Structure 1
Amino acid sequence: MTVIGRRRLLGLAAGAAVLGGAPRWAQGQPSGTAPLSALGTDPPEPGIKLRFWTTERGADRVTVIRYLLDVQAAFAGQPPVVIETVAEEDVVARLRAAHDPASRIPIPHLVNTGADTLLALDTLGLLSRDGHRVVQTLGDATFETGALAALRRPDGRLAAIPFHGWPQIVWARRDWLADSLGQPVPQTVDALRRAAHRLHDPAAGRRGIILGTTGDFYTQQCFMMIARAYGAGTVGPDGAPQLDTPAMVAALEAYADLARAAGPGALTWRARDYYLQGRAAFLVYSTFLMDDLAVPAVAQDSLTGAHFPDLDGAPFDPLLVEKTAPIATLGGAAPGAIGAFSSINGLGLTGVGDPAERLAARSLALFLFRRDAYIAWLHMAPGGMIPLVRGILETDAFMRDRLGVFRAFGRDVTRRFGAALRVPSTASTVVAEAAGRPYADPRAGLLYAERVLGRMVARVLAGETAPRAAARAAQAEARALLE
């Protein structure tokens, strides 16, 4: 993989936490317990203690992970796995430090974190080919294509194993579209722009759309969904930035037009409150919104008047799920382009230890793709962890999360979220005809981590500069950053 400046590369981890969230076994595999031989490997030798790093840091999630890893250790006749939680922004520096001969930090066998952080680790030579071997054992056909692209190096090898992800969604008030406009849910950028402006009614206290306007990571996520609909990308097949292309300028113009239907004020992810209080027609937000829409206790923080002066608070609307239509992808404004954005989480194998340890690490990774273990992991965050393994969305076990989130939306709607993850659309994904098969370039992730796109968008929305001039400035900034 092409090596970029190491100081710059450390910046990848700074934005990876946002990519991963604020952040299920192959089709036909029966649930329940099965011998490791059925998972494509032999049982590891007894007495091996594995170390597992994860950026899942909530106590409830760590409890679930602890349980799953203890089950696997007992099942394989091994000592308990040592779990260490690490902040995503610290993963790269900490693993580099662990490799220092004088370090007392034990090197982990597995690292569970966001795709962009895993790409950074791979570029620094801190991941082994064992992750690719596990994917070969499971088979490429096991995974959604967009998930594979998020961790595919330019040479075709996978840097790590895709695990779960979330897609960006445009949440739409289908009832307002039908009752006020007499039209279906928009499926293209142009149709979305028209509908957002027609439903924007400041006199009635209703905003046409909620999206990011401040230049933060949320702004970048919203904008990249629109940019990809225009066929715009951040870097090309040669790794050079391409932020001043006609497609990028057109995307900026479209985003600025959408923002005019968003109303005044600085809008961050917190502005989801407008949608949950019935004061916005559209909301650009990830599938992490699902439990807010479905579960009153989860939604409470967005139903107060504490966050925005023009919101007084509202009761939970139990019918909002039915009134909402999720738009997982937008029809391209350019031929063949698809408007989408996603974040992928993965498992990296470091290759530390002797052959028996490496085998044990691969066995643990395979265990986490057993259907029962996989679903248990994903149910830690219903909506925030969408399966990347094909067929899992079709199982009744997956639909029965403890909060009833997936049942509230139904299988047909939930399928759309899985379908969105088939589209190569992470911050680091390079999709170009000249590139052939989509892959991930850490230089694109670096531009995201440094918020180059966010500043470009913010300059336009603030009226500081026109889209074309903002794109040229961003291109110059990106070139300097990647030197």
Structure 2
Amino acid sequence: MSITRRAAAMVLTALVGTSLLTGCGGDSGESGSPLVVWSMENLPDRVRVTERLAAGFTERTGIPVELVAVDENQFSQLVMSSAAAGKLPDVMGALPLTTIWQLAGNELLDAGAVQAVVDRLGTGTFSRRALELTRDRDRQLAVPSDGWTQLLVYRKDLFAAAGLAPPDTYERISRAAAALSRDRLTGISLATAANDAATGQAFEGFAVANGCDLVTADGAIGLDAPPCRETFRFLGELAARYSPPGAQDVDSTRATYFAGRSAMIVWSSFLLDELGGLREDALPACAECVGDPGFLARNSGVVSAIAGTAAEPAQYGELTSWTVPVGGKREEAQRFVQYMMENQAYVDWLGMAPEGKIPARRGDPSDPERFLDAWERLPAGVDTKRPLAEIYPPEVLRALRESPERFRRWGFDQGQGLLMGATLAEMPVPKAVDAMLGGTEPGEAAEEAAEEVRSIQTSLR
């Protein structure tokens, strides 16, 4: 398959939309031209941090850098046009797992260059699991940088008053949701909207906790197998009986919990700075919070790994990585990625948003916990800055810092990254969850989702 056709095929497996692009790419093959770096960290404050880090790299090495900040929804279109023109960048950063695997499936990554960077930094300095999720058999596809973890946050004051155990199993979650759904209080807030990626993330988190795999080791679709049917039943009951009425999305779930009208919420770790009152446009608004802004954070507990009815505890999370495309300035690209993954540059990169940038590289050969320890001290927040360790107890920070080792994700261990990207774009699981709110039986929802994924799988062959 030609590079143009490979790039076009990748676009079919990813979200395509309008978005922001800052900067423009250069011809990385031209002598004397800058090292072209694409980054999905495209928010203005994060672009400024990346520009400062790139300037530090140039000062140290003499290698000029041209930074291109790309929105995730625009990425596939940009790759297609750049690959067709022979103008891929030299480095790509902040890429989620599905994007890494889509690039690899279309033979656009220099796995040898990536492996060399990991070897120089020290394989043992990384989270073992992070390396596994970014590896295709014997090919290291990316250098895992950081990630966020999905959490079940709960009102530990309400749980204590009701004599309830922390909600870390299907059974305990269901029991708490039933016991605490009363008056204006709902048991749990979780995304259920058909067009919200958070719906699929919440479902996958509960699914991996129950041994439900979207695709099995032999490539078969498992969404209608018993563990997945049980997950559909479990989540359908929570959404229909113990959640706010109507389809919920990432914003409405947060608003409900922050208003003190939900006993539990499923959200990413990006919730933690907002819950701590560090972002003015998303402040806790419960009745007690008016006189005590720290009330909700102080009375919230965190569960990171959940156990279903038939599996060991597991945890959903997302990793972002650096990688080196084919055909660029290989040696200079390796030097840049290595620079961004060590010393103060790596700490500053994590400092963009510590609550959602948990380090995948734990330390260095001289100090195995160096970056984890530095991460705990980094100030989080937008309008107010405070380290998370000043807001949350030590057990919350321990759960966060160890989370990359426990990440379980659909498809990547089975080498099915292209299918995962296509499934993410088509959203069969969020649509099935939404259908259950409309009265579709859980078993039927599982079968419909499985059939749609099988259709997607066939289209990729």
TM beyond 0.5? yes
Contact 1:8 1:446 in 2 (8 A): no
Aligned AA (2:15): A
Aligned AA (1:147): A
Give 3-state SS (helix, strand or coil) of 2:140's partner: coil
TM (normalized to structure 2)? 0.85
2:360 matches 1:388: yes
2:458 matches 1:480: no
How big is the shift at 1:141?
2.2
2:326 matches 1:351: yes
2:313 matches 1:338: yes
How big is the shift at 1:303?
5.0
Q: Distance in 2 between matches of 1:74 and 1:300?
A: 37
Q: State how 1:3-402 maps to structure 2 within 5 Å.
A: 9-14=10-15, 49-79=34-64, 81-101=65-85, 106-112=87-93, 113-129=95-111, 130-153=113-136, 155-179=137-161, 181-201=162-182, 203=183, 205-215=184-194, 216-259=196-239, 260-270=241-251, 271-296=253-278, 298-301=279-282, 315=290, 317-335=293-311, 337-353=312-328, 357-390=329-362, 391-392=369-370, 394-396=372-374, 398-401=376-379
Contact 1:12 1:116 in 2 (8 A): no
How big is the shift at 1:393?
5.8
Q: Distance in 2 between matches of 1:343 and 1:107?
A: 25
Give 3-state SS (helix, strand or coil) of 1:248's partner: helix
Contact 2:151 2:302 in 1 (8 A): yes
How big is the shift at 1:50?
0.7
Change (3 A) 1:397 1:475: closer
Change (3 A) 1:276 1:349: same
How big is the shift at 1:66?
0.5
Highest relative contact order (Cα 8 Å, sep 6+), 1 or 2?
Answer: 1
- Aligned partner of 1:419 among 373, 379, 402: 402
Contact 1:295 1:405 in 2 (8 A): no
Change (3 A) 1:252 1:397: closer
How big is the shift at 1:372?
1.3
Contact 1:293 1:320 in 2 (8 A): yes
Give 3-state SS (helix, strand or coil) of 2:110's partner: coil
TM (normalized to structure 1)? 0.82
Q: Distance in 2 between matches of 1:372 and 1:162?
A: 17
How big is the shift at 1:448?
2.4
2:433 matches 1:452: no
Change (3 A) 1:6 1:350: closer
Change (3 A) 1:164 1:209: same
Question: Any unmatched runs of 5+ in structure 2?
Answer: 19-30, 363-368
Q: Distance in 2 between matches of 1:100 and 1:400?
A: 41
Q: Distance in 2 between matches of 1:371 and 1:125?
A: 31
Contact 1:92 1:120 in 2 (8 A): no
Q: Distance in 2 between matches of 1:5 and 1:51?
A: 22
How big is the shift at 1:227?
0.9
Q: Distance in 1 between matches of 2:90 and 2:318?
A: 23
Q: Distance in 2 between matches of 1:184 and 1:115?
A: 34
How big is the shift at 1:197?
1.2
Q: Distance in 1 between matches of 2:437 and 2:221?
A: 22
Contact 2:354 2:375 in 1 (8 A): no
Contact 1:224 1:340 in 2 (8 A): no
Contact 1:147 1:344 in 2 (8 A): yes
Q: Distance in 2 between matches of 1:394 and 1:59?
A: 26
Change (3 A) 1:152 1:281: same
What is the root-mean-square deviation in Å for CA atoms of aligned residues? 2.7
Moved more, 374-383 or 416-425: 416-425
Change (3 A) 1:206 1:333: same
Give 3-state SS (helix, strand or coil) of 1:352's partner: coil
How big is the shift at 1:11?
4.3
Give 3-state SS (helix, strand or coil) of 1:347's partner: strand
Contact 1:277 1:313 in 2 (8 A): no
Contact 1:393 1:399 in 2 (8 A): no
Give 3-state SS (helix, strand or coil) of 1:422's partner: helix
Give 3-state SS (helix, strand or coil) of 1:169's partner: strand
Change (3 A) 1:50 1:455: same
Question: Any unmatched runs of 5+ in structure 1?
Answer: 18-45, 305-310
Give 3-state SS (helix, strand or coil) of 1:84's partner: strand
Identity, in percent, stands at 26
Contact 2:10 2:103 in 1 (8 A): no
Moved more, 326-335 or 241-250: 326-335
Contact 2:359 2:375 in 1 (8 A): no
